[in-house]
């Protein structure tokens, strides 16, 4: 069965801390892995990772994929209260033109002042 598992499920830190969120997957015909940030409503896209070992970076956020060990991490350095959100990991998989997206359960991050 195809699945995406995130850990931890929830995390509470203080401003300035660095956090690492984990996402592991088992799918057939892996294509790419995505990270989203969801505050109140629509998830907003953060990163798409298709190649192993290449770090993607955007400000204080960075992410990397390990296709051999089937996982990805999302790092947030110098956390701020505005980073409080649910972080969703998703994997696109499938063959031909039928790419499907499977989401993990999400990690709820709370950053305290």
Partner 1 sequence: DGGITQSPKYLFRKEGQNVTLSCEQNLNHDAMYWYRQDPGQGLRLIYYSQIVNDFQKGDIAEGYSVSREKKESFPLTVTSAQKNPTAFYLCASSTPSGYNSPLHFGNGTRLTVT
Q: Using CB under 8 A, list all residues that contact partner 1.
A: 4, 6, 9, 31-32, 34, 41-45, 48, 50, 88, 90, 92, 94, 97-106
CB of 94 to partner 1, least distance (A): 8
CB–CB of 74/35 below 8 Å?
A: yes
Of residues 88, 90, 91, the one with CA closest to residue 108: 88
* Nearest CB to partner 1, comparing residues 17 and 108: 108
Minimum CB separation from partner 1 for residue 41, in Å? Answer: 4
Q: Smallest distance from the beta carbon of 112 to partner 1, in angstroms?
A: 21
Residue of 109, 103, 87 lying closest to 5 (CA atoms): 103
Is there a cis peptide before residue 8, judged by omega within 30 degrees of 0?
Answer: yes
């Amino acid at each position: 069965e195809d699945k995406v598992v995130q850990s931890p499920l929830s995390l509470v830190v203080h401003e300035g801390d660095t956090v690492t969120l984990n996402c592991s997957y088992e799918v057939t015909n892996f294509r790419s892995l995505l990270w989203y940030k969801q505050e109140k409503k629509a998830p907003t896209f953060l990163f798409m990772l298709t190649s192993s070992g290449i770090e993607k970076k955007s400000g204080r956020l960075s992410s990397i994929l390990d296709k051999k060990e089937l996982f990805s991490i999302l790092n947030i350095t110098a956390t701020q209260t505005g980073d409080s959100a649910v972080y969703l990991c998703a994997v696109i998989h499938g063959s031909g033109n039928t790419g499907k997206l499977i989401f993990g359960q999400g990690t709820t991050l709370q950053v305290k002042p």
